[in-house]
Amino acid sequence: MTTTNEAVRDLLSHELPRIMGSEARDESHSSMKILLVGNYGPDNQTSMRAFLRVLERELPKLGCELRVITPPQRVQRLPRTSRLWKWLGYIDKFILFIPGLATQARWADVVHICDHSNSMYVRWLKSRPTIVTCHDVIAVQAARGMVEGWNVGWSGRVFQRLISSGLAKADLVACVSHTTQRALVDLQFVDKRRVTTVLNGLNDSFSLVQPQEAQQLIKRLGVGEQDKYLIHVGLDLPRKNRRAVIETFIALQRRAAEHGVPALVQHLILVGPHLDPNLTALASQHGVAERIRTLQDVSHEELCALYARSTALLFPSLQEGFGWPLIEAQACGCPVFTSDLEPMNEIGGPGACYLDPHNPDAMAEAIENAAGRLEEMRTLGLENAQRFSAAQMMANYLAAYRRVLASRQGCR
């Protein structure tokens, strides 16, 4: 049977010269030249770095020649606490970076802007086909007053208009989920014929870790061999719904005490920032502060082990573009409890348990009721995670690159 990678290589070697016409190179030496545009280092966007890494790792396997360019840190030398920090970063990203970007673009067959927040670069790349990956439209929606509780200042509104304008000018916008594609089209500033979905793949080697190995990996994090815990992975943003995670854990402890039985879990691990003072006070008020741990600077191997040893992932997010922790957890054999909202109920598949993220008591009850089927959830989750392979993601991006090349060739 022909594999996906073999089929893609065959497609590249036989079809690309026809598409590129007079500009095609000798077939025996042809490779598609892709310029990947990454994010500014000081912005410290972990998920975007992970996305770029998987493209860098996988695309050469399919015959692509890559160059990666990111805005260098030149004038931005102040601490993040400075009022000028953001503005100096803008000078680095949107003024000083442009000449180098334009020069590198002349080398490429296709320019792939890996994060839609940099889509304003499209205006300087008109001579080359451009693809922009759209991870979500939440900030754009917020700038238009569509996200409750998120007030965007004037500079933020200007910035989001620039992002919208860049997306509108791109040859193709690749959304990471069908939910994000629908939301983008609904905003009506991008021609829906130039929008597609390329589902994210796992951005690293998330897989099962045997219990003994997992325990050794997480020993330094203070996780005991007998500890039973829920895990949550994510930032302390309102839409991540961290408060509901804490309240659900509290409800689990309270319900178990009322019934005179041990709680399904006795600990909560939050991989992300420290608790804010309000959540710390809430945990203390209910006597569970000592059983909640936040972890930072967790290595990839440790994260896989945390997932593998966990009773379940609790991910009651209110809004996501994709929701990577869902498939990361499932690929490590961790049952998933998540919001019955898009895209979570699109990504999690039949193995996840879907909850009302606004009702912690109901979430606690659902977790208790699912205790007898955690093994089934693990099995179904492992199967679901296989839908999101890096190889499939790359094959889909390769098809997108070919699409924009063909479109530009047809316009000549």
Residues 68, 73, 75, 78: is their CA dihedral positive or negative? positive
Backbone angles phi, psi at 229, to 5 degrees: -145, 150
**Collapsed DSSP state (helix, strand, coil) of residue 67:** strand
- Rounded to an integer, what distance in angstroms lies between the CA atom of residue 248 and that of residue 131? 41
The 10s digit of each residue's pLDDT in 236-265 is 988 999 999 999 999 999 999 999 999 999
> Which DSSP letter does residue 94 get?
I
Residues 305 and 284 sit within 8 Å (Cβ to Cβ): no
String of DSSP letters for 297-335: S--HHHHHHHHHH-SEEEE--S--SS-HHHHHHHHTT--
Q: Give the contacts of 64 (CB within 8 A, at least 6 positions apart).
A: 31, 32, 33, 34, 398, 401
- Rounded to an integer, what distance in angstroms lies between the CA atom of residue 220 and that of residue 14? 52
- Consecutive sets of 10 residues in the chain, 412 residues long: mean pLDDT of each? 46 42 39 95 90 95 95 91 91 96 96 97 95 95 86 88 95 96 95 95 90 92 92 92 97 95 95 94 96 94 96 96 95 97 95 96 96 96 94 95 88 61
The 10s digit of each residue's pLDDT in 374-384 is 999 999 999 99
What is the percent of the chain with per-residue pLDDT over 90, rounded to a whole number? Answer: 80
- Strand 336-339 and strand 353-355: the pairing is parallel
Backbone angles phi, psi at 267, to 5 degrees: -140, 155
Residues 294 and 403 sit within 8 Å (Cβ to Cβ): no
